[in-house]
């Protein structure tokens, strides 16, 4: 099918009334078909998990305050609040409410969704708050006076920006770096800022001083200020594609590029430069492998030194998952066959590993760094640990003490008789693909839900989900997570080998896991379902059109599906480095083999499993036209397709807990109905 032959292009008109009428008809049909007592019960139980006050109030530490954004049944859109560490340690902390989003939304007649806050330190009197309409990526930015609990308007000399995909950050109390929609030509083809400026309080945005301009084909341009005392620096980043960036030191009006590989992750802390390699890097007489973490003295490196210290080197089973600085130490989290391990390194002792602080988690839990505050709280760090059957635990760590438990989440479902196992499936090229299985120890082959993503070096590590537990596991379902290539479970090469022409490996890996589940007797083909969203939604579309015989049902959420036009829709141009350029005939040749929308065949030729396709009208990252057109095409050719589109919700598919509970219940009820009919 060529673009000229596409009969459903009109469905790409996001807010066109004809297109929205098409959506409403299908929403009603899907909702009616899945409605009933079981759906209501699932929705209510999931909503209870989302709204309960027993959840851990994860907070970001900024000096003496811990800031938290909180939603519950009373605060549907949420409240931004803060407390002290002494209060936070108590069972029921006293919170100081700074902003009530429900009250703001009502007073302004807008469905505001929280986007975050940047608090200016050390005084913590001002914040830059981002809000979106309905959960979109595009946000408005407003300066907030914490002491008076009011927004500063432009008339008051406050920083305020209209809706756009904006990048903004404090330099000092009267100056910010900003990249936004400055007018025609100021955005890249991906819709992100092409220009970054220095904007001073009390001046018009049109008077802001340009710091750097990128090219239209770049992904984005950004700038930021490092206010570490004694190491104050400004930086500018030019992202030339999704995986390549140039980072420059900004000195007045001059730019000096940091000469590290453009595909590496480069960061500066005090006098240390850290480089995490994505591909092998030869510097001096040494070649460092992909996935290594290297350190250098920043000033010496900028002066031409090639001396690097190896902090981490990967092996066949072990990769670097996270790293973060405290004031005096460097924290690493590694994955060994998708099992996490925490390390603390001392740069004052040539980055020696402090073995006494080495902390390994169990096979089915993951520990992750969720926050440090090197600026004002020294070597303190926060960790979160959870697993498929283990509710989250929040820990407070320090390099010279065993981490203490601050908060523990309650169990939201009964785990008695459940166990977690890890297996490996052999993909078509012989690669061993790990996957986790959560099921009853005495389970017979039965309803099984396989989840996958496979892209952008995002690792699928064990984690607790009260919703999955209540809606699936408690009812006797088996839950499976596949660690397919495209993720980062085994370092950058686990991802880079599937870029562009290698994309077929992702699909082959997922299909191999599906087959292995049946071969091992964990489930049957008729009772095996799969689910994925975004890039994982693309994966579901490929399973539907290339491997339909492996599944009894599919759930495809906020997906890419028309890979002929994905780069022309919203942020799609930024993903060409991942998938390839469909306008290049050589690259369209391999993309066309799997693009779901172009590969649908009539039901009379090939039977597809029933599929639920769900998206959001307000998703301004992955265009809802992908989902709409695919559903229309499947309907036209006689397939069993259910469709639901949330009119709000952004790329996450929901803008509040009520919508999220409803969306979750739809997916699970669809699966229980379809698998029972198989």
Residues involved in catalysis? 534, 651
Displacement of CA 546 from its chain's centroid (Å): 27
* 8-state DSSP, 195: E
What are the residues whose beta carbons fall under 8 Å from the beta carbon of 268, sequence distance 6 or more? 226, 231, 233, 235, 258, 274, 298
Report the distance separating Cα 436 and Cα 494, nearest Å.
Answer: 18
What are the residues whose beta carbons fall under 8 Å from the beta carbon of 124, sequence distance 6 or more? 62, 63, 65, 146
Report the distance separating Cα 50 and Cα 575, nearest Å.
Answer: 32
> End-to-end CA distance of the chain, in Å?
32
Report the distance separating Cα 631 and Cα 231, nearest Å.
Answer: 54
* 8-state DSSP, 187: B
**Angle of the 17-34 helix axis to the 625-636 helix axis, nearest 10:** 70
- On the CB side of 187, CA atoms within 13 Å amount to 18
| Token pair listed for 582 | 């469909």
| Token pair listed for 112 | 């505001």
Report the distance separating Cα 472 and Cα 447, nearest Å.
Answer: 9
Pairing label, strands 272-276, 265-269: antiparallel
Q: Is 88 exposed, middle or buried (0-12, 13-18, 19+ CB in 10 A)?
A: buried
In this structure, are residues 30 and 356 in contact, taking their beta carbons and an 8 Å threshold? Answer: no
Report the distance separating Cα 222 and Cα 195, nearest Å.
Answer: 8
395 phi and psi angles, rounded to 5 deg: -120, 145
456: helix, coil or strand?
coil
CA geometry: angle 272, 277, 283, nearest 5 deg: 75
Three-state secondary structure string covering 435-497: EEEEEECCCCCCCEEEECCCCCCCCCCCCCCHHHHHHHHCCCCEEEEECCECECCCCHHHHHC
Q: How far is CA 445 from CA 480, 512, 520, 526, in A?
A: 13, 18, 9, 11
Report the distance separating Cα 622 and Cα 139, nearest Å.
Answer: 16
DSSP output for 346-384: EGGGTTEE-GGG-EE--TTEEEEEEEE-TTTSTTEEEEE
Q: Is 419 exposed, middle or buried (0-12, 13-18, 19+ CB in 10 A)?
A: middle
What are the residues whose beta carbons fall under 8 Å from the beta carbon of 444, sequence distance 6 or more? none
Displacement of CA 413 from its chain's centroid (Å): 25
| Token pair listed for 316 | 């066949």
Report the distance separating Cα 440 and Cα 472, nearest Å.
Answer: 12
> Count of H helices and E strands in the chain?
13, 40
301: β partners: none
Report the distance separating Cα 666 and Cα 33, nearest Å.
Answer: 10
Q: How far is CA 229 from CA 272, 282, 296, in A?
A: 14, 33, 20
């Amino acid at each position: 099918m060529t673009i000229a032959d596409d009969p459903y292009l009109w469905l790409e008109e996001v807010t066109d009334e004809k297109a929205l009428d098409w959506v409403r008809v299908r929403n009603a049909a899907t909702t009616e078909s899945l409605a009933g007592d079981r759906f209501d019960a699932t929705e209510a139980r999931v909503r209870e998990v989302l709204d309960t006050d027993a959840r851990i109030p994860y907070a970001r530490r900024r000096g003496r305050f811990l800031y938290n954004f909180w939603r519950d049944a009373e605060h549907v859109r949420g409240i931004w609040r803060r407390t002290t560490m002494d209060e936070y340690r108590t069972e029921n902390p006293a919170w100081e409410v700074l902003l009530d989003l429900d009250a703001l939304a009502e007073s302004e007649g807008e469905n505001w969704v929280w986007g975050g806050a940047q608090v200016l330190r050390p005084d913590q009197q001002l914040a830059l708050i981002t809000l979106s309409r309905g959960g979109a990526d595009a946000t408005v930015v407003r300066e907030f006076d914490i002491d008076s609990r009011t927004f500063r308007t432009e008339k008051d000399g406050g920083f305020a920006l209209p809706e756009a995909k904006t990048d903004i950050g404090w330099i000092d109390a009267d100056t910010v770096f900003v990249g936004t929609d400055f007018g025609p030509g100021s955005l890249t083809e991906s819709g992100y800022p092409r220009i970054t400026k220095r904007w001073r309080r009390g001046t018009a945005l049109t008077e802001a001083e340009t710091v750097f301009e990128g090219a239209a084909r770049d992904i984005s341009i950004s700038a930021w200020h490092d206010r570490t005392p004694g190491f104050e620096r400004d930086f500018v980043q030019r992202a030339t594609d999704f995986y390549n960036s140039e980072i420059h030191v900004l000195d007045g009006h001059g730019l000096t590029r940091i000469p590290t590989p453009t595909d590496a992750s480069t960061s500066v802390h005090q006098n240390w430069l850290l480089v995490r390699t994505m591909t092998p890097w030869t510097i001096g007489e040494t070649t460092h492998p992909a996935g290594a973490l290297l350190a250098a003295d920043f000033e010496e490196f900028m002066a031409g030194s090639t001396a690097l210290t190896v902090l981490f080197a990967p092996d066949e089973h072990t990769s670097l998952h996270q790293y973060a600085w405290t004031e005096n130490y460097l924290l690493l989290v590694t994955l060994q066959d998708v099992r996490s391990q925490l390390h603390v390194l001392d740069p004052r002792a040539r980055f020696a590993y402090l073995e006494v602080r080495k902390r390994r988690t169990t096979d089915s839990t993951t520990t992750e760094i969720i926050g440090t505050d090197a600026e004002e709280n020294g070597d303190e760090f926060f960790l979160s640990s959870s697993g498929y059957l283990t509710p989250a635990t929040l820990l407070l760590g320090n390099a010279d003490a065993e981490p203490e438990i601050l908060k523990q989440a309650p169990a939201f479902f009964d785990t008695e008789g459940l166990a977690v196992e890890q297996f490996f499936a052999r993909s078509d090229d012989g690669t061993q693909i790990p996957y986790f299985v959560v099921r009853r120890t005495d389970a017979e082959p039965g309803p099984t839900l396989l989840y996958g993503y496979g892209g952008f070096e995002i690792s699928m590590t064990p984690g607790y989900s009260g919703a999955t537990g209540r809606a699936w596991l408690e009812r006797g379902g088996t839950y499976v997570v596949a660690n397919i290539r495209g993720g980062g479970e085994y370092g950058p090469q686990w991802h880079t080998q599937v870029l562009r022409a290698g994309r077929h490996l992702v699909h082959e890996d997922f299909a191999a896991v599906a087959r292995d589940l049946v071969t091992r007797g964990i489930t049957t083909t008729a009772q095996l379902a799969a689910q994925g969203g975004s890039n994982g939604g693309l994966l579901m579309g490929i399973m539907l059109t290339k491997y339909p015989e492996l599944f009894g049902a599919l759930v495809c959420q906020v997906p890419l599906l028309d890979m002929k036009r994905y780069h022309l829709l919203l942020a799609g141009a930024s993903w060409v480095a991942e998938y390839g350029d469909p306008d290049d005939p050589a690259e369209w040749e391999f993309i066309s083999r799997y693009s779901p929308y172009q590969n649908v065949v009539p039901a009379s030729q090939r039977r597809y499993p029933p599929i639920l396709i769900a998206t959001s009208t307000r998703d301004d990252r992955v265009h809802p036209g992908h989902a709409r057109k695919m559903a229309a095409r499947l309907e036209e050719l006689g397939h069993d397709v259910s469709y639901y589109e949330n009119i709000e919700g952004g790329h996450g598919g929901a803008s509040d807990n009520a919508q999220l509970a409803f969306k979750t219940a739809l997916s699970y009820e669809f699966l229980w109905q379809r698998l029972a009919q198989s």
